[in-house]
């Protein structure tokens, strides 16, 4: 790698490149070790919160006793509509997309200073302005449309019956989920902005895997150098991490010399004063839902048809990682392949229980509803 950098002709410290390269490699290797789970995450899943928390309250604080084994994998969420959503995490923790983005890069190799001289704290290689620009690019991202020329024509009569079911009390879908645009919007906030409202469902009522929420809501850490900022020597890691993200953001706003209006723009014209709902999972709009398997926040249900089944009838084990689509059940091909990995729903953090709103439907009604979901 060092030789490649030198061949570019850039003005670099040639003698220092090999040493810097080894140091970077060592840091990445150590991060991989801290991020290991007792069970492989598999494709498209990661304990994002567990890993970033380890990097913030363990590595950056210089307190390895705060590190915990990541054990709550979540599925990578789809990106369309996210800049417009009222809440921007799997649970109700963050309103400001920029704070979420800062947390994400701190979990994947961004540098962060939390120790040493107070004047140096909250320095970070996370580029707040570029993270804002990336979020702005997402505003034009449209949900994908079901490609009938590839995956087969939609049965319009069945889909019409499914739409009626979606909007009925029998299925209960529309009580929590918006279907297709135009979406309902919140009232104007104090900055005159509206967002797509999100229904927050308590995890105890939803019945889905609780590990991600429990890790967020009960995990604690010694605050060490941040005791004064946290106001305590032992703090919940969720709120503590959020304080770090806010301080990184504020420091870079100051360093960039952003005006108050520019700061509001970078923050999506939002603030985080609304009470967080850390014990609830979000139920967002379903546009493009056909393209987002596997389902639930932890990716534990392979297709839309199984999501409408009672828990005991869902697949207990299936393979992820195939690039083949299952247009009948609307999900990914779950057969074993050369580059697939096994998802075992009996493993901690992998439960496929809960979200049983379609379990009382007849099988014919389930297929009607699946057909309608293809059209969103």
27 with 141, same domain? no
- Among residues 291, 319, 346, which one ends one of the domains? 291
For residue 207, give its domain range.
Answer: 44-291
Is 366 a domain residue?
Answer: no
pTM: predicted TM-score of the whole model, two decimal places:
0.89
How many separate domains does the chain show? 2
Is 297 a domain residue?
Answer: no
Is 302 a domain residue?
Answer: no
CA dist 7 and 64 (Å) reads 39
245 with 271, same domain? yes
Query: What's the confidence (pLDDT) of residue 317?
Result: 96
Do residues 40 and 341 lie in contact, with contact meaning Cβ atoms separated by under 8 Å?
A: yes
Query: What's the confidence (pLDDT) of residue 22?
Result: 64
Is 75 a domain residue?
Answer: yes
Is 296 a domain residue?
Answer: no
Residues 6+ apart with CB under 8 A from 271: 95, 96
- Among residues 291, 310, 345, which one ends one of the domains? 291
Residue identified by tokens 């979901």 is: 373
Is 334 a domain residue?
Answer: no
Is 192 a domain residue?
Answer: yes
Is 233 a domain residue?
Answer: yes
92 with 16, same domain? no
206 with 138, same domain? yes
| pLDDT by 10-residue block (mean), the chain, 376 residues | 52 60 68 74 88 93 93 92 90 91 91 93 96 94 95 98 93 89 91 93 94 91 93 93 95 97 95 81 94 96 97 96 94 92 93 93 97 97
106 with 132, same domain? yes
28 with 118, same domain? no
DSSP one-letter string for 178-203: --SSSPP-PPP-TTS---B--EEEEH
Query: What's the confidence (pLDDT) of residue 13?
Result: 61
């Amino acid at each position: 790698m060092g030789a490649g950098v030198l061949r570019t002709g850039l003005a670099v410290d040639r003698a220092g490149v090999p040493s810097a390269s080894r140091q970077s490699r060592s840091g990445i290797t150590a991060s991989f070790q801290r991020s290991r789970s007792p069970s492989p995450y598999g494709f498209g899943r990661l304990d994002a919160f567990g890993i970033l928390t380890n990097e913030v309250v363990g590595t950056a604080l210089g307190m390895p006793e705060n590190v915990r084994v990541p054990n709550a994998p979540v599925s990578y969420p789809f990106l369309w509509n996210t800049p417009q959503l009222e809440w921007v995490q799997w649970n109700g923790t963050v309103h400001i997309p920029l704070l979420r983005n800062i947390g994400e890069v701190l979990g994947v190799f961004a540098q962060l200073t939390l120790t040493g001289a107070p004047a140096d704290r909250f320095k970070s290689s996370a580029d707040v302005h570029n993270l804002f620009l990336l979020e702005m690019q997402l505003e034009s991202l449209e949900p994908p449309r079901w490609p009938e020329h590839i995956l087969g024509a939609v049965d319009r009569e069945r889909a019409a019956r499914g739409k009626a079911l979606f909007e009925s009390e029998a299925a209960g879908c529309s009580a929590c989920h918006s279907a297709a645009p135009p979406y309902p919007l919140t009232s104007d906030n104090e900055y005159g902005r509206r967002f797509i409202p999100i229904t927050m469902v308590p995890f105890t009522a939803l019945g889905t895997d609780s590990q991600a929420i429990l890790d967020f809501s009960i995990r604690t850490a010694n605050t060490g150098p941040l005791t004064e900022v946290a106001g305590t020597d032992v703090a919940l890691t969720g709120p503590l991490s959020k304080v770090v993200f806010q301080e990184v953001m504020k420091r870079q706003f100051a360093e960039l010399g952003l005006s108050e209006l520019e700061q509001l723009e970078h923050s999506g014209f939002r603030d985080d004063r609304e009470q967080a709902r850390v014990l609830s999972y979000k139920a967002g709009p379903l546009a493009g839902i056909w393209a987002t398997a596997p389902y639930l926040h932890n990716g534990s249900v392979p297709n839309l048809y199984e999501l409408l089944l009672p828990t005991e009838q869902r697949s207990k084990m299936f393979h992820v990682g195939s690039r083949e689509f299952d247009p009948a059940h609307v999900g990914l091909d779950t057969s074993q392949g050369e580059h697939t990995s096994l998802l075992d729903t009996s493993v901690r953090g992998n439960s496929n229980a809960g979200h049983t709103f379609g379990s009382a439907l007849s099988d014919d009604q389930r297929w009607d509803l699946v057909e309608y979901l293809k059209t969103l």
